Amino acid sequence: MTDSSFTALHDTALRGFASDNYSGVHPQVLAAMAAANDGHQVSYGEDVYTARLHEVMAEKFGRPVEVFPVFNGTGANVLALQSLLPRWGAVVCAATAHINCDENGAPERVGGMKLLAVPTPDGKLTPDLIDKEAWGFGDEHRAQPLAVSITQTTELGTCYTPEEVKAIADHAHSLGMKVHMDGARLANAAAHLGVPLRAFTSDAGVDVLSFGGTKNGLMFGEAVVALNPEATDGLIYLRKMNMQLASKMRFISAGFIALLEGDLWLQSAGHANAMATRLRAAVEGLDGVVPTQPTQSNGVFAILPEGVADRLREAFRFYDWNEAAREVRWMCSFDTTEADIDTFAEAIRAELSR
Ligand X SMILES: Cc1ncc(COP(=O)(O)O)c(C=O)c1O
Of 23, 41, 50, 74, the one binding ligand X (CB under 6 A) is: 74
Q: How many CA atoms lie within 13 A of 353 on its CB side?
A: 8
Gap between the Cα atoms of 209 and 184, Å rounded: 9
Nearest C-alpha neighbor of 146 from the set 157, 154, 138: 138
CB of 155 to ligand X, least distance (A): 5
Q: Would you say 157 or 351 has its CB closer to ligand X?
A: 157
111 makes contact with ligand X (CB under 6 A): no
**Interface with ligand X, residue 267, by CB under 6 A:** no
Residue 296 in the binding site for ligand X (CB under 6 A): no
Please, which of residues 120-179 interact with ligand X by CB under 6 A? 151, 155
User: Counting contacts by CB under 6 A, is residue 184 touching ligand X?
Assistant: yes
If the CB atoms of residues 67 and 80 are measured against ligand X, the closer one turns out to be 80
Q: In sequence order, which ranges of 120-263 are alpha helices (DSSP H)?
A: 127-131, 162-174, 186-193, 235-241, 250-260
Q: Which is nearer to ligand X, 122 or 131 (CB)?
A: 122
28 is a site residue for ligand X (CB under 6 A): no
Can residue 244 be called a binding residue for ligand X (CB under 6 A)? no
Which residues are within 8 A (CB) of 210 and not within 5 positions of it... i.e. 6 or more apart? 73, 76, 77, 80, 180, 181, 182, 183, 184, 222, 223, 224
Neighbouring CB atoms inside 10 A of 1's CB total 4
Task: Report the C-alpha gap between 268 and 65 in whole angstroms.
Answer: 24
Between 75 and 89, whose beta carbon lies closer to ligand X?
75
Taking contact as CB under 6 A, which single stretch among the options 66-74, 199-207, 242-250, 295-303 is the one that binds ligand X? 66-74
For residues 322 and 257, the answer to whether their CB atoms sit within 8 Å is no
**Chain residues in the site for ligand X (CB under 6 A):** 72-74, 98, 151, 155, 182, 184, 214
